[in-house]
Amino acid sequence: MSTFPEAGAARESLSPERAAYLRKRRRRDRAILCAKLAVIVLFFALWEMLARVGVLDPFIFSQPTRLFSSLSRLVQSGELFYHVGVTTAEAVAGFVLGTVFGTLIAVLLWWNPFVAKVAEPYLVVLNALPKIALGPIFIVWLGAGPTAIVVITLAISIVVSILEVLNGFLATDMGMIRLAETFGASKGQVLRKVVLPANFDTILNSLKVSVGMSWVGVIVGEFLVSRAGIGYLIVYGSQVFQMDLVMGSVLILAVIAALMYLVVLWLGRIGRRLQRSDAKAKGEGRGDSLE
């Protein structure tokens, strides 16, 4: 088995220029993070100040102190965790179903170009169609409950997933595909060994888009039929003119959506790490076979 001690030593010892670059990059990353936090702090500080001096009407626009007071009462009563749990479960269910079915349908359409050509105009129309308009239909079919909300979420996210992933599959380097076919690769092997690895970033971008679409679908569904969830709190707060509750619910919604987006990024980093380790293992295997 071949070893490369020189390469290992090079990785362990950094040149002064490389170390200086890494320090500069870390400082820049910290500066960006501080700027992001400063924007949030300044936003809430300005909002609070304008409400206190009367530029903004607290009854209409609320203010951070009243907003956090309202959320604190919900936390103490335990209601907030219940509503957050309901909305999160519906969003995750719609997101997972939309991603899985969207990717599988994209694979089917890539596998059969005839079916893809037939389905193309319908996918375009479905993508352009405001899926929110289908909400009342799903409610009549499935009843006013969580199932209808998840289906609305699925309908909003699945078409975007199909188009995003399918376009990535169709844009895969044909030279790589023909090379694999020259060596006798079957259609399934081309998919597993060439198309899917080449479109890892495309699938990850589809997940990022689906996160936002899933939350849109859930909130729309909860606006229409729910008796629990963040969307229900927003509707209830607007009906009784409790803008503190409305603003607080929107804030909680933004935080949860951001956390879900960060989870997708984290899964993407894990996937890239596995890809690199797999490629490294295959490279070492080829090196051993050459010996």
- Give residue-wise pLDDT tens across range 161-180: 888 888 888 888 888 888 88
Q: Is the pLDDT of residue 140 over 60?
A: yes
Q: Which residue has the higher pLDDT, 81 or 4?
A: 81
Give the separation between CA 257 and CA 206, rounded to whole angstroms. 16
Query: Whole-number mean pLDDT of the chain?
Result: 81
Give the model's pLDDT for residue 38: 92
CB 109 within 8 A of CB 119: yes
User: Quick one: pLDDT at residue 199?
Assistant: 83
> How far, in whole angstroms, is CA 151 from its chain's centroid?
18
Does 240 score more than 90 pLDDT? no
- Split at pLDDT 50, 70, 90, the class of 286 is low
Please say whether the beta carbons of 190 and 174 come within 8 A: no
CATH of domain 62-290: 1.10.3720.10
Report whether 158 contacts 98 (CB < 8 A).
yes
pLDDT band at 7 (very low <50, low <70, confident <90, very high): very low
Spell out the SS3 assignment of the chain: CCCCHHHHHHHHCCCHHHHHHHHHHHHHHHHHHHHHHHHHHHHHHHHHHHHHHCCCCHHHHCCHHHHHHHHHHHHHHCHHHHHHHHHHHHHHHHHHHHHHHHHHHHHHHHHCHHHHHHHHHHHHHHHHCCHHHHHHHHHHHHCCCHHHHHHHHHHHHHHHHHHHHHHHHHCCCHHHHHHHHHCCCCHHHHHHHHHHHHCHHHHHHHHHHHHHHHHHHHHHHHHHCCCCCHHHHHHHHHHCCCHHHHHHHHHHHHHHHHHHHHHHHHHHHHHHHHHHHHHHHHHHHHHHHHC
Q: How confident is the model at residue 42 (pLDDT cuts 50, 70, 90)?
A: very high
Confidence of residue 288 (pLDDT cuts 50, 70, 90): low
Give me the mean pLDDT over the 117-140 stretch.
Answer: 82
Q: pLDDT band at residue 284, thresholds of 50, 70 and 90?
A: low
Domain boundaries, the chain: 13-51, 62-290
Binned at pLDDT 50, 70 and 90, residue 203 comes out as confident
Confidence grade of residue 1 (pLDDT, cut at 50, 70, 90): very low
